[in-house]
Structure 1
Amino acid sequence: MTATAVRARGATGSGRLPGAWRLGMHRGALELRQFFRRRDQAVFSLALPVVLLFLFASIFRDSVAGTGVTASQLYVPAMMAAGIMTTGFQSLGISIAVERDEQVLRRLRGTPMPPAAYFLGKVWLVLVTAILETAVMLAVGVTLYGVELPAGAGKWFAFGWIFVLGLTACALLGIAISSVPRSGASATSVVVLPFLVLQFISGVYISVGTIPGWLLGIGALFPLKWMCQGLRGVFLPESARMLEPAGSWEYGRIALVLAAWCAGGLLLCLLTFRWKNRRDG
């Protein structure tokens, strides 16, 4: 039995385990403690998008003609979206693959803890770290690059559902791709490569107006491109819409694509997730 389950059992004062939700809360607290105890990993994970933003925004600072925004301001929402996907897709995909390789998942599966509690723990970890990272990125964008916070409730509502749907879709894809690496040692290469490619063809590092149409079409099949576009709509003035291929923010299409990826990601998880390595049978 895991330490999480033992503590939860003691908290109930009976021999019966609490429900998956309560165990998931305990599991989430454990995941967060483990994450922040590895200080080098925590600092690197939270600081990498900020460092990349600083580098790109320092190199590309010119105003974009006819939009009222600078190239630096365009990078802020794009890097924010990339940070959300880093937390939900990259970090989660690698960590689960490593835990599977180290037999952590197999041991957890043999305990009375409901499987849902494990995933709820990951949800809390991803949610808290994504909120922290987004807050840091937003603070840097407002302070250093003149990005203005939305004035109306409608924009904040749009930010909320883009954040929730985008993070959910990315986290489900992270869980699904965690079953692809054959070992924990290969997980970083397997997960980082497609994410790196997506960042280049989704408008994170390069303006969508300069990406070849066929590459942008491939990027449009995945959540990151739509998260970048939606967050640009939230934090940039309406005049910046002209930079989008459709000439508008397309919030309806963004919602449909992200919701579709949430459903598709869940299906992929159900079909592909494994508690043990292939070599274990």
Structure 2
Amino acid sequence: MMRVLVTGSGGPAGRALIAMLAERGLDVLGADMAPVMGLPVPTRRLPAAADPLFLTELGALVESESIDLLVPTVSEELPVLASAVARELWPHACGVVIGEADAVRAADDKLVTAQRLRAADVSVPRFARPSQLSSVVEATSWWGAPIVLKPRVSRGGRGVHLLSSDRDLDWRMIGDDQIVQEFAPGIEYAPVVYRPRAGASGDVTVVLEKSAAGDRIRRVEAPDVAALALRAAGALGLTGPVDVDVRRDPAGRPVVLEVNARVGANVGLAPELVDAMLADHARLAQETGPAWVT
């Protein structure tokens, strides 16, 4: 029986994915930097991705537990692990569900994401570095109010601010580790994508729509959003699972807000993605052996 290790087992994505894999009869192990309760599978502790021992201890866990497939779900782990795989510093004979290092780094930085998508003619809100603007007033004079200010590297909506006036903050204190973005006021979507590695067929896209209050989410048919999410993943060169944030602009056009190179928190509503991931693993393991990356 295939053994699967899911990191971030205490988070929404990790919990949902573990449940779905266990339902499929797989032998699943969770891992997290904090103790995790209430899972249907055993869990192990790992250091944070920024810890110098992260890769060493993750690799030791893979070896000691005879893991066949590793699925990271923690944003901070992705650049570390992708870089290790690219530099051949990950010698372990298991499949790793992660994209190429350059694509993962691009998705990890919201400014780089926006720049690459715009260059590929994928619709994004207008954006700038804070140093390119003198104030909130200048930004709103170009794009209307409110504007969005958020960290270039973050997850889960952390550090996101809607600004309408210079009274909201002291612009001089804002560095270029942030991105300024035009606000898209329309319906919000969380499409999930799976792109197989090595040009194989079988792309999967499921569009999820968030309620106005953000407390409910449901599957919907929105072909323009599905096409945009798939184009965004392809423009960045991402393979494997991709979680995309999309809103409609004032004209009703969908625009990409950000892209996450991993399984997202709403994977439970997209079982097709998990089936595609497992099918991709089986194909790659047969073609290239047990050690592969998506």
* Between structures 1 and 2, the one with greater helix share: 1
Length-normalised TM-score, structure 2: 0.27
* Between structures 1 and 2, the one with greater strand share: 2
Length-normalised TM-score, structure 1: 0.28
